[in-house]
Every structure is written in C-alpha cells, then in structure tokens.
Amino acid sequence: MNTPNAWVGMLPPAFDPDYIEHAVVPYLKSSEYVGERPALPMIDLALSKENAAPPHFWGMLYEGWAPDPEKGTTVFITGYGQRGPDNERKKIYASATTPDLCAAKYVPKIRGFLARLFADTNAGKPLMHEYYRNYFDLYWDLHLGVTGDAIPSEVRAIGAGFTAVLGHWYPTESIVRENIMRVRELRPRLTQWIDQRVQAVIDGDVDDPEGTFVHYWLKNGRGSEHFRREDIVFECFHNFLAFSQWGNMIYRTMALLNERHGDSAVRNWFRRTMTSGPDTDDGGTFTRLDRYVMELFRTVSPNGGSLSTVSTERGADPRLGNVLTSHSSASRDPRQWSNPDEFDPDRYRDAPTTADDPETRRRQAGLARCPFPPRPFSVKDGRRAEMTNSAFGAVYGVVDGTAYPICDTAGYAPFGFGYRRCGGEQLTTEFIKEFLRTVWSRGIEFTTLRLEHHEHIPVSPRTVIDDDIGFLRRP
C-alpha cells in the first residue's frame, strides 16, 4: 500500500510544498466510508454536516486551507446545532427557492437559457459545450441579477475552475492542482465582486431585485447570526457545488431520451406524460410531469451521496474520516419499493410527503416523538408564507395557505434526507421540467454524434462526461 509520503515522491515537480501539505496529504490520509441505507427519510444527528467536505476542497473555500466560518460559511457544511433554532439557516436558504418564486421569478430566466441552448445554430453540435457556454450567465442571473459583460472574466474563470476540480476530483492530478490554485488566486476578487453585487441588490441597482436569491436571503435572514452578509456571499459561490448536478442531470436525461441508444421505458413514459397533460394533477400531490422528473432523479441520482463527519472516541480529526450515505442505493432499496429497478413515475401517486400529518408519520415509524418537530419560520420578504418541516426534518414552504411539499420517504433519496435535503431541490426539479417542456414543444430528438474527437467535460463530483450528444428537430 502506498503511504502519503510515498505518494509525495511521485508527484509532478510543479506541485509546491504548500499545495502538497494542505491538499494532497490531507486527501491521502482521509478515509470515506459508505454508510448504511436509511430506513427512515432522515439522517441522525450523529452524522454531522459540520465541516463535511473533502479535505482538499478547503483551499478553494478559505485562504488558510481550513474551515474559517467567521469569514462566511454555507448551510451545506454547518452542523444542525449551529444553524439556529429548528434548522433556521436551512429555512432561510430554502425561502429563496420555493415553487411560487420559481414560477414567478426564475422560470422566465430558465426559459431564456433554454431558448439559447436549443437555438437552430446549435443543432448537430455537441450540446454540453453550448450548455456551459451559457450556464454561468444563468447562474449569476439567478443569484445576483447580472449577466453578459457585467460578469467579469475572472468570475467566469473561477466558476469553470471550481467545476473542473469537482469533476476531475483527485488532487494528485495536475489538472486538479492547477484549478485549485487558480480558484485560490481568484477567490478574493470573486468575494469582493459578489459583495458589491449584494449591495446593488440592497440598493435596488438591479433590474429586478426580487428575481434573485440574494433578495430573499437578505429579507429573511435580516442580517442575523444565522445568515449574515458574509454567509450570503459564501452561499453565492459555494453553490458552484450545489448546482453542479444540473449539467450532469441534463446530460444523463439526453442520453436516456436518445432515440437509438437511450432507454425505451424512459422515452415511452415521456411521450405518455407529455401527451396526457403533463401539468395535470390527476388525484395525487404531484402532477404527471412532477412524477416523471422525480423518477428521472431517483434512477439517475446525479449527486452520489450525502457526506457526513463523525466524532471518534480516539479523538482523531473528524476532517480525516467521513461517512457517505449513498443516494443511488437508497433510492433503489427493495425495502422501500416493490419494483425498485423499474422506471415507474406512478410510484409517487401515494408516496408520503412532507405535508402529511407529522404525528401520524411518527406513529407509523414506531417513534415516541417526532425527531424534528415542525416549527414554522415566517418569511419577512412580503409574502404570506412560512417555511416548515416534516416529522423527519425535511424543509418545505407553505405560501398563502398552500403547501408545496416534497416526497418524504427513504426510497426517494437523490436530494438527501431529512433536515439535510438539498435546499434547492424544488428549483432543480423546475429546471428539469422546463428542459423537458422545451424538448417536447420544439420537437427535439437527441442523437449520438459521430465525432473523431470529442471534448471531455467535468459536470459534477467525480464525473467527467464525453460531449458526444447533440440534437435534431423532428420534421
């Protein structure tokens, strides 16, 4: 077995001692254990989100190569006990991504992005290259209301660098080292720029301040210790990681819908869904298109799992030992579904949701009390709305008396579990729904391109795809 010291001698000469000490060695000394599949839709607090990140990522997030939350932090690496009462930090984060805001404020931006992606001039071209050529315009428009030339080249470069590290992953690789160091070089400029743009949202010096995440984080965080301005700035660039699954999901969906090389069940369900009223609520909580997209996420699982830190009786540094709760194996658990390997959107017709009575869910689970009692957080952004949670901690919104629940069973795991569900889940779902509506309405067919050489594109953690899928229009 190679020890860290043995590995150091094998690294390229360009790897300077600072990088080796703070990125390579911690990574080589770390361990990541695959944890059990949850039987309930939650993760116990013994598996913490406190500083739950790959050890070589800290240098991209902080100057000192280690967590420094006073400089800003994100809910995704903050333990439950540090989030304020009743998971307040998560509720503030999620207050910016509720379905009512998606429909009124964000979907028009997403449609503009998709119109550019599926422009006639892109037909027959490798599509993921075009996706990333426009992606950061959408990203910064959603966060800060800024696009085009108003996004500095350095800001675009740091986004691309962060994504490259995610995809290529291993700090022993030259491409990862180059991009980590590039991110470190540019991060002070990025932080300054984001802070200036946050001020522009505050001052109303943005075309539509209410069309940005930052507007709702400011209004609902109110500058409290649980969502400071420094944290808003941090969330804006940490979302490079949270939103990375968009590209991965788009690519996997195109592959499944590919007429010659895709999945016939996925294609057939797509046709059936879109021809029978995709937005129809036919008796269940979720529309036909909701259920189809949920099943795509369950079977594709673009985010591999939820990373946790654990305390150890021997006193080892918890950064050096992480537990991964797998999303894909949980979503295909035969304890949860009678047909886990089938593509079946109708499985969600009667699936439990976060809006179900918490005491009933608690009794069904055989628990003496709800592990995470629902505690509404009233938003302060002018809407008549509150953020609350299920018996197992999953956060969702209630707007004008209407609940916008999410599926709350351990068998639906692509966005995580319980209080650690992804705060952008419903926005991500709406993004894929708009993608599918565009594909259908424009008569788009996906095809594998015959290319002598194709580009390799990093899209999400440990994932680099071949950019070999394009589109044509049906006659």
Please report the beta strands in 247-332, taking only residues with DSSP state E, as ranges in sequence order: 305-309, 321-326
CA–CA–CA angle 283, 284, 285 (5° rounding): 135
Distances, alpha carbon 342 to alpha carbons 120, 327, 346, in Å: 35, 17, 11
Residues 208 and 204: their CA atoms lie apart, in Å, by 8
**Can you give the pLDDT of all 475 residues of the chain as single tens digits?**
455 665 666 788 889 999 999 999 999 988 889 999 999 999 999 999 999 999 999 999 999 999 999 999 999 999 999 999 999 999 999 999 999 999 999 999 999 999 999 999 999 999 999 999 999 999 999 999 999 999 999 999 999 999 999 999 999 999 999 999 999 999 999 999 999 999 999 999 999 999 999 999 999 999 899 999 999 999 999 999 889 999 999 999 999 999 889 999 999 999 999 999 999 888 789 999 999 999 999 999 999 999 999 877 665 554 457 899 999 999 999 999 999 999 999 999 999 999 999 999 999 999 999 999 999 999 999 999 999 999 999 999 999 999 999 999 999 999 999 999 999 999 999 999 999 999 999 999 999 999 989 999 999 999 999 999 999 998 7
pLDDT tens column, 436-469: 999 999 999 999 999 989 999 999 999 999 999 9
Q: Indicate the domain borders of the chain.
A: 32-448
Residues 217 and 213: their CA atoms lie apart, in Å, by 6
Write out the two tokens for 97: 């991504």
CATH class of 32-448: mainly alpha
pLDDT tens column, 198-218: 999 999 999 999 999 999 999
Other beta carbons within 10 Å of 168? 20
Q: Which of 301, 244, 228, 245 is nearest to 75 (CA)?
A: 228
Residues 321 and 375: their CA atoms lie apart, in Å, by 32
Alpha carbons within 13 angstroms on the beta-carbon side of residue 163 total 23
67: exposed, middle or buried (Cβ count in 10 Å: 0-12, 13-18, 19+): middle
Pairing of strands 395-399, 456-460: unpaired
Q: Given phi > 0 = left and psi -120 to 50 = alpha, else beta, which region is 401?
A: left
